[in-house]
Amino acid sequence: MDQTQWKLIYETYQRSLFLYALSLTKNVPDAEDLIQETFLKAFLSYKETGSLKAWLITVLKNEFLNLCRKRQKEILDNGECFSQQQAASEELLQKIIHQEERRTLLYAIMELPLLSKEILMESIYFHIADSEIAAMHHLTQENVRQIRSRAKKKILKRLEGTL
């Protein structure tokens, strides 16, 4: 593979691998080190056989276990290492996941037709009553409820596809 392909591979998998590494290490510096080691090993030794994504995950997990052994930390049955920064890192991980969920929701809303988007935003985010929304868009209240319901269903369907 050439340098352009590796750049694309990095851009494609870096974020999800970072989240996985952070969930294992429970701290950002170790997660970043794991990502760096994983991609370095991939660049130096990957043979184009099998799934690259599965291979990257396997390398990352093995690098994590090597890190645990190197630091002579106790490995729990579930493969976690103890860390002094565990609580702060778990909070960071939750924040990143929450931001990713909000971003996914925003993209789902952005894909809605204009009228559906407007009604949904006016109703949920601005707390405007259905009667006012209906008057603003020259619709009946039933149409407003129907459009909002369909918009929510489209969003839920889109979100189910990302889980």
Read off the pLDDT of residues 113-138 as tens digits, 9 standing for 90 and up: 989 988 988 888 788 899 999 999 99
Residue 39 and residue 105: Cα distance in Å, rounded? 30
pLDDT of residue 143: 96
Where is pLDDT greater, at 60 or 87? 60
Q: Is the pLDDT of residue 159 over 70?
A: yes
Helix (H, G, I), strand (E, B) or coil at 49: coil
94 and 68 Cβ atoms separated by less than 8 Å: no
Q: Band the pLDDT of 152: cuts 50, 70, 90.
A: very high
130 and 123 Cβ atoms separated by less than 8 Å: yes
pLDDT of residue 75: 46
Query: E strand or H helix at 64, and its extent?
Result: helix 52-70
Residue 25 and residue 66: Cα distance in Å, rounded? 12
pLDDT of residue 72: 58
**Threshold 0.75, pTM exceeds:** no
Residue 131 and residue 128: Cα distance in Å, rounded? 8
Q: Is the pLDDT of residue 87 over 80?
A: no
Average pLDDT over the chain, rounded to whole?
A: 80
In which residue are the tokens 């990713």 written? Answer: 100
Residue 49 and residue 3: Cα distance in Å, rounded? 19
